[in-house]
Amino acid sequence: MKNTLFFILLFISVFGIKAQEGFLIRNVSLISMEEDTIVANSDVLISNGRIKQIGKGLQTDGSKVMIIDGTNKYLMPGLADMHLHLWGDSTALRLYIANGVTSIKSMSGKPEYLKWKEQIQSGNRLGPQLYVSGPLMNDISFLQRYVPLPVKFIFFWFHILVFSIIIYTILRIVFRKKIKNHPKRLLIELGLPLMILLIVYVIEYCFVPSIQVAAEGEVCVFSRDWEVRKLVSKQKEIGYNSIKPYTSMRRSQFVTLLDEANRQKISVVGHIPSRVSVDDVIKHKMTGIAHVEELRYHFYNGYDFSGNAIPFDIIDTTGLDNITKRLQKAGIFVTSAIVVCKDYIDRQKNDSNFFSKPEFKYVPTKTLELYKKQGFLTKEQYPEKEYWLLVTMLKSYHKNGVMIVLGTDSQWKNDVHGFTVHEELQLLVDNGFSNYEALEASTKNAAISVNAIKDWGTIKEGKRADLLLLDKNPLENINNTRAIAGLCLNGKWFDRTSLDRILVDLMDYQIKNDREISPSK
Ligand SMILES: [Zn+2]
């Protein structure tokens, strides 16, 4: 309740002051992202949340139109982060806005986020445009970590035994006379329970789902293919934007998932399960791959990947270009998610320096304690060679023209939502992307990845007014995306003071409401 009240007050304080019918950004250097050029001295007129007109020397008739001076400033589409995890904490939404990010995608969903999405759309919650993937889809073996094997065994057989005993008892009472006098009594006495057991087993296997946590959690598990089909339709019905296969899925489950998703016309963006080949990904038409590093399993050459030991000595990347060329041909996009791995390396190099970044003040102290304890991977758990392999894959994708979509995989672990978007942009440039290509990953490509390029992603008349005004040119130095002078979010204007106030209020809130936000909670 306190939480809600705080955000309502914040919402009023931010939107209350700047409410107007429209505004005109005048004399700005326009980076529309429609093409790799800057158009100097442009005017952009915003009305009713849309880009109404782009031109030079535009005149406005109404006094209700606010004028924003864009002299010596640069206007580009708002940024996007298409891979992140919220883990139930909505404060992340504010961090994105303060960082010039106008569209995000939660890559593990639960119904609560769909409510947030609705509230954002209707103007009752402050946040970027929110896309939500369904919960992680995984084989039941994924639960091994949480649920010991004997428990799962009992869970499965418990139904069968209880139902069998009930049915047998009923039959035994109803037909007691007939059984007593039957010449083959012994056969019936022994055979009946076995038969019932078999029938109940078949019914259980074909109709009773495995343990599923789809409704509440951000993970759902299953063991049979038919459950996968049901879950895909259910997730489409609930309103998720895509389905997310996860690492432990069996091949038949993965193929079923893609088959059902294609039938239901819902996209599939997620992991390539370690037991699935790239051939399956292409043949069964996966829409997008959730991280650049997904291809790693395919370089272990028959190695049974246990999830722990990484056998770098047997990695052979000879076939990499071939694979990325085929993915490009199949039109499958890849979300970057580099910064999350770079963080492991940075922490190994200098752990105390890592936490000196100013943005950590927006993380609740208790959560920060968790970061320090849980977010560190040793050199054995995450060797530098693993990062080298990741970068090698990124370069191959880039070289062969695979569409890269910016995602950070931020998830309250080592990262501060929103700030990581600028780090990810920098990492793309560090690894061979031009500044324009990096920006494309976070604007145009992001919109294409959710089939929304007609609505946002570039600055064009008629599109959503999601615009980022910068003091410095991001095409000159990618770091300049941090020099934010103002933000237009769906037609609402936030000047620098408003953005700063979001950050200050958020910091106060985090200090007052110190709590643990964590994937494992
Ligand atoms: Zn993720």
- Per-residue H/E/C for 56-99: CCCCCCCCCEEEEECCCCEEEECEEEEEECCCCCCHHHHHHHHC
Segment 150-173 shows an average pLDDT of 80
How many angstroms does the Cα of residue 384 sit away from the middle of ligand 1?
Answer: 20
Contact 121, 438 (CB under 8 A): no
Which amino acid makes up residue 149? L
pLDDT bracket for residue 9 (50, 70, 90): very low
How many angstroms does the Cα of residue 409 sit away from the middle of ligand 1?
Answer: 5
More confident residue, 294 or 144: 294
pLDDT bracket for residue 312 (50, 70, 90): low
> Is residue 40 included in any domain, yes or no?
no
Whether the pLDDT of residue 6 is over 60: the answer is no
Owning domain of residue 201: 148-207
How many angstroms does the Cα of residue 291 sit away from the middle of ligand 1?
Answer: 8
Q: For residues 343 and 413, give the distance between their C-alpha atoms in angstroms, rounded to a whole number.
A: 10
How many angstroms does the Cα of residue 84 sit away from the middle of ligand 1?
Answer: 6
The confidence score (pLDDT) of residue 221 equals 84
How many angstroms does the Cα of residue 48 sit away from the middle of ligand 1?
Answer: 34
pLDDT bracket for residue 148 (50, 70, 90): low
> Is residue 257 included in any domain, yes or no?
yes
Percent of the chain with pLDDT over 70: 88
pLDDT in tens, 106-132: 999 989 999 999 999 999 999 999 999
How many angstroms does the Cα of residue 171 sit away from the middle of ligand 1?
Answer: 52
- CATH number of the CATH domain containing 264: 3.20.20.140
How many angstroms does the Cα of residue 501 sit away from the middle of ligand 1?
Answer: 30
How many angstroms does the Cα of residue 324 sit away from the middle of ligand 1?
Answer: 21
Give Cα 24 to chain centroid, integer Å.
Answer: 34
218 and 173 together in one domain: no
pLDDT in tens, 412-442: 999 999 999 999 999 999 999 999 999 999 9
> Is residue 177 included in any domain, yes or no?
yes
Whether the pLDDT of residue 42 is over 60: the answer is yes
How many angstroms does the Cα of residue 335 sit away from the middle of ligand 1?
Answer: 10
125 and 252 together in one domain: yes
Give Cα 184 to chain centroid, integer Å.
Answer: 63
125 and 173 together in one domain: no
Q: Where a domain ends, among 207, 230, 245? A: 207
How many angstroms does the Cα of residue 475 sit away from the middle of ligand 1?
Answer: 28
The confidence score (pLDDT) of residue 220 equals 84
How many angstroms does the Cα of residue 85 sit away from the middle of ligand 1?
Answer: 6
Number of folded domains that form the chain: 2
How many angstroms does the Cα of residue 150 sit away from the middle of ligand 1?
Answer: 30
How many angstroms does the Cα of residue 329 sit away from the middle of ligand 1?
Answer: 25
The confidence score (pLDDT) of residue 482 equals 98
Segment 8-17 shows an average pLDDT of 44
More confident residue, 81 or 63: 81
221 and 273 together in one domain: yes
Whether the pLDDT of residue 5 is over 60: the answer is no
79: which 2 tokens? 């940024």
Average pLDDT over the chain reads 89
How many angstroms does the Cα of residue 263 sit away from the middle of ligand 1?
Answer: 25
How many angstroms does the Cα of residue 58 sit away from the middle of ligand 1?
Answer: 44
The confidence score (pLDDT) of residue 145 equals 61
Whether the pLDDT of residue 18 is over 70: the answer is no
201 and 222 together in one domain: no
Segment 165-169 shows an average pLDDT of 90
DSSP assignment of 226-291 equals HHHHHHHHHHHHHT-SEEEE-TT--HHHHHHHHHHHHHHT-EEEE---TTS-HHHHHHTT--EES-
Beta-carbon contacts of 166 under 8 Å, excluding residues fewer than 6 positions away, are none
Segment 22-42 shows an average pLDDT of 97
Lowest mean per-residue pLDDT among 156-170, 452-466, 493-507: 156-170
3-state class (DSSP) for residue 416 = coil
Task: For residue 105, give Cα distances in angstroms to 73, 132, 288, 411.
Answer: 28, 6, 13, 12
Beta-carbon contacts of 508 under 8 Å, excluding residues fewer than 6 positions away, are none
> Is residue 333 included in any domain, yes or no?
no
pLDDT in tens, 439-484: 999 999 999 999 999 999 999 999 999 999 999 999 999 999 999 9
Q: CB 514: neighbour CB atoms within 10 A?
A: 12
How many angstroms does the Cα of residue 394 sit away from the middle of ligand 1?
Answer: 17
**Which of the residue ranges 82-91, 139-148, 188-197, 305-314 has the most confident prediction, judged by mean pLDDT?**
82-91
Q: For residues 10 and 322, give the distance between their C-alpha atoms in angstroms, rounded to a whole number.
A: 52
> Is residue 492 included in any domain, yes or no?
no
Which amino acid makes up residue 221? V
> Is residue 131 included in any domain, yes or no?
yes
More confident residue, 164 or 41: 41
How many angstroms does the Cα of residue 407 sit away from the middle of ligand 1?
Answer: 9
How many angstroms does the Cα of residue 132 sit away from the middle of ligand 1?
Answer: 12
How many angstroms does the Cα of residue 511 sit away from the middle of ligand 1?
Answer: 27
The confidence score (pLDDT) of residue 149 equals 60
How many angstroms does the Cα of residue 290 sit away from the middle of ligand 1?
Answer: 7
How many angstroms does the Cα of residue 44 sit away from the middle of ligand 1?
Answer: 36
**pTM of the predicted model, to two decimals?**
0.88
> Is residue 499 included in any domain, yes or no?
no
Rg over CA atoms, the chain: 27
The confidence score (pLDDT) of residue 304 equals 53
HSE-up of 175 (CA within 13 Å, CB side)? Answer: 14
177 and 267 together in one domain: no
161 and 280 together in one domain: no
pLDDT in tens, 256-269: 999 999 999 999 99
Whether the pLDDT of residue 313 is over 70: the answer is no
154 and 280 together in one domain: no
268 and 160 together in one domain: no
